[in-house]
């Protein structure tokens, strides 16, 4: 077994473990963290397949943006773990059915879909701005294709992601009535005479006169 095969089995085992923990973790925050681990292992598998661009996109977009948004949403919501746990076990039969169908479809594609497919031929060399030949690169080829023929879809996707980012920031910056946050600017502008009042009092006081004895009760 070579090094590439060893890394493949390592990434696959960790990926399966993280995916299993996503649906079995009791804490939603722990489930999101395991999902981040699953995405990172999937990026490692893409690297083994020499798809560097897809691996980088998976790390930058999903791990750096989408999963952070998931963490914000999970931490903002008031999730009752007992209710979620009960609904999970109630939907186990449907989940097993859907998972079995997906497993059968994937097995059919892997066993029959790649028969007779030849290995890709060596890609031609690319030319840089000066006209010199440079080795072929997936990232360079995709970058040229995205920013020449598909420039408009890229700009539209960037605008949609910008709107989603602004919406996520707006959700996290909402004002809560039960928040006890302090305003540092108001604390700096405070003056001593507004908070502390010095009262002049004599050092000693005359003793108070004793209280008058209560009137005797009238005899019958």
Check pLDDT > 90 for residue 11: yes
For residue 117, the model assigns a pLDDT of 60
Helix (H) or strand (E) holding 72: helix 67-76
Check pLDDT > 90 for residue 14: yes
Task: State both tokens at 11.
Answer: 């990434």
Check pLDDT > 60 for residue 218: no
What would the pLDDT profile of 49-98 be if each residue is shown by its tens digit? 888 888 888 888 888 777 777 777 777 766 666 666 666 677 788 888 99
Q: Where are the beta strands (DSSP E) in 71-154?
A: 126-127, 133-134
Distances (CA, A) of 145 to 94, 128, 137, 199: 42, 14, 12, 79
Closest CA to 58 of 34, 41, 33: 41
pLDDT higher for 24 or 124?
Answer: 24
Q: Where are the beta strands (DSSP E) in 87-142?
A: 126-127, 133-134
Task: State both tokens at 69.
Answer: 């948004």
Contact between 41 and 15 under an 8 Å Cβ cutoff? The reply is yes
pTM of the entire predicted model: 0.54
pLDDT-derived band of residue 215, with 50, 70 and 90 as boundaries? low
What would the pLDDT profile of 167-206 be if each residue is shown by its tens digit? 878 877 766 666 677 778 877 887 777 777 777 877 777 7
Check pLDDT > 80 for residue 213: no
Check pLDDT > 80 for residue 104: yes
For the chain, the straight-line distance linking the first and the last C-alpha, in angstroms and rounded, comes to 116
């Amino acid at each position: 077994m070579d090094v590439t095969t060893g890394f493949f089995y390592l990434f696959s085992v960790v990926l399966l473990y993280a995916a299993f923990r996503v649906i079995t973790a009791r804490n939603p925050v722990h489930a999101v963290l395991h999902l981040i681990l699953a995405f990172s292992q999937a990026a490692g598998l893409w690297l083994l397949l020499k798809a560097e661009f897809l691996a980088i996109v998976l790390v930058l977009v999903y791990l750096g943006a989408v999963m952070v948004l998931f963490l914000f949403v999970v931490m903002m919501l008031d999730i009752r773990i007992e209710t979620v746990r009960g609904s999970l076990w109630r939907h186990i039969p449907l989940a097993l059915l859907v998972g079995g169908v997906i497993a059968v479809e994937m097995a059919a594609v892997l066993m029959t879909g790649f028969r007779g497919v030849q290995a890709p031929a060596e890609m031609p060399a690319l030319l840089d701005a000066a006209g010199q030949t440079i080795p072929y690169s997936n990232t360079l080829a995709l970058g040229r294709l995205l920013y020449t023929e598909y420039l408009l879809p890229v700009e539209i996707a960037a605008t949609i992601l910008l709107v989603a980012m602004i919406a996520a920031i707006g959700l996290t910056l909402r004002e809560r009535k039960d928040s006890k946050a302090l305003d540092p600017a108001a604390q700096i502008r405070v003056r001593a005479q507004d908070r502390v009042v010095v009262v002049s009092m004599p050092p000693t006081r005359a003793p108070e006169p004793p209280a008058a004895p209560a009137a005797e009760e009238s005899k019958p």
